[in-house]
Structure 1
């Protein structure tokens, strides 16, 4: 039986892990290799790493670090950051990564989705859209860590991406990032309504109840979070955590009825 996925989302910056609020003020939260080892023990569904330096600094993916992460991981890994070509994607898959997340490069060249999917299969090609609310209603896709507006409507664009061969869409709500006050349910509803490929949502989780609300409404969906799995308590002490199988079953109860 297909189940929802609960996915820690980790940001790479200067070879360390950081957490942001509204894509700003990155706070160091630890070593990525150590984090993978801890998440191994906690038997997470999947783990996602996003290099927030690669695109903004126009850097190649850090293949050495990616290989170290893949070698340590006992769970499926998704990597995003700086991937602009089919050759880069193939190199990363060769290091042991299961999914590649494309973002800014797809805005400039949507056909990149098709080109990579034709080589490795759609199931391994993910597109991440960083989305912000517009002042007078609606949503817009941003790139470069939320600094560059694209004028693109995410609800229309995800339909195009599905046709191009994307195997999954990750919607990252910039306004909710690091705030820990819940997901943008309205945005999730709008995206889920127009695509049939897997959807993962990111931005806003402050408790497992926030995760549960999304699963209650949308069933088989990926629910990703950053702060929820690296902080603990009202003062945000750094502590890597993840729900036990018993806790996950409680969250899944609506879907599994």
Structure 2
């Protein structure tokens, strides 16, 4: 099975941004131009997250997604502020293939079942922003890592699958934006308890970090942000490292945006 290399683009208003531990955001580029660049570099998918959606009560990425989807022919997942079936319908209508839900699902888990029943589990992604606890384990946080849900991240992942999620996006708040490597223990703890694809996110600082996580056969994909946005590495660098380690990824030829 090919593992996926996903470009993650966190967006605030019209700007591509990146922070550390899901805070301290700074502008790092244009979210539309970067999407096209990463597509040309061979990204398997794009992940757009509206980081201030919870403040405004809705996702504001429809314009960006509409433009990008007309020129980028790989799956697009959109998250942030997805709180209703109407919000899901809007995102899918402008070109998204999947929606990622976090805060709304912790408040009303049945939204996962509603999305899955209406649009299919393949379009339903449960986003889990996990923070390590001093007593052990990880708590699932909400509102872009600002608030506590009181839910154990691993147990919540298992419940999310039962409710209809077809995929999990697992972000380590502790590692996010640090470039120090991913929280392999967190990713492994969740991946071994579920049967649906798991996307690991948070902490990639070099190709070795991606390889280390994808050595776990239960991990389906890695989402990379910081290293791409700061132009420290390209998606080709990550793909080459995976191939050198014997990890299967999609063969990328000379695909270009038309």
- TM-score (norm. length: structure 1): 0.91
Cα deviation code 1:196-226 (max 9, x no counterpart): 0000110111111110011112255111121
Cα deviation code 1:167-224 (max 9, x no counterpart): 0001100000010111111111110111000001101111111100111122551111
Aligned to 1:250: 243
Q: Aligned with 1:17: secondary structure? A: strand
Q: Take 1:251 and 1:47, find their aligned partners in 2: how far apart are those partners?
A: 24
Counterparts of residues 183-202 of structure 1 (less than 5 Å): 183-202=182-201
Q: Take 2:56 and 2:81, find their aligned partners in 1: how far apart are those partners?
A: 9
Are the counterparts in 1 of residues 50 and 59 from structure 2 also a CA contact under 8 Å? no
Aligned to 2:79: 80
Count of aligned positions: 249
Q: Aligned with 2:26: secondary structure? A: strand
Deviation, 1:155, is 0.8
Q: Take 2:234 and 2:248, find their aligned partners in 1: how far apart are those partners?
A: 23
Aligned to 1:64: 63
Aligned to 1:236: none
* Greater shift in the superposed pair: 95-104 or 63-72: 63-72
Q: Aligned with 1:37: secondary structure? A: helix
Q: Using a 3 Å threshold, how does the CA distance of structure 1 residues 66 and 192 change in structure 2: closer, same or farther?
A: same
Deviation, 1:148, is 0.4
Gaps of 5+ in 1: 234-239
Cα deviation code 1:76-102 (max 9, x no counterpart): 111111111112101211111111111
- TM-score (norm. length: structure 2): 0.91
Q: Using a 3 Å threshold, how does the CA distance of structure 1 residues 252 and 48 change in structure 2: closer, same or farther?
A: farther
Q: Take 2:113 and 2:61, find their aligned partners in 1: how far apart are those partners?
A: 24
1:182 aligns to 2:175 (yes or no): no
Aligned to 1:11: 10
Are the counterparts in 2 of residues 33 and 72 from structure 1 also a CA contact under 8 Å? no
1:133 aligns to 2:146 (yes or no): no
- Aligned-pair Cα RMSD in Å: 1.8
1:121 aligns to 2:120 (yes or no): yes
* Greater shift in the superposed pair: 59-68 or 166-175: 59-68
Q: Using a 3 Å threshold, how does the CA distance of structure 1 residues 69 and 252 change in structure 2: closer, same or farther?
A: farther
Q: Aligned with 1:9: secondary structure? A: strand
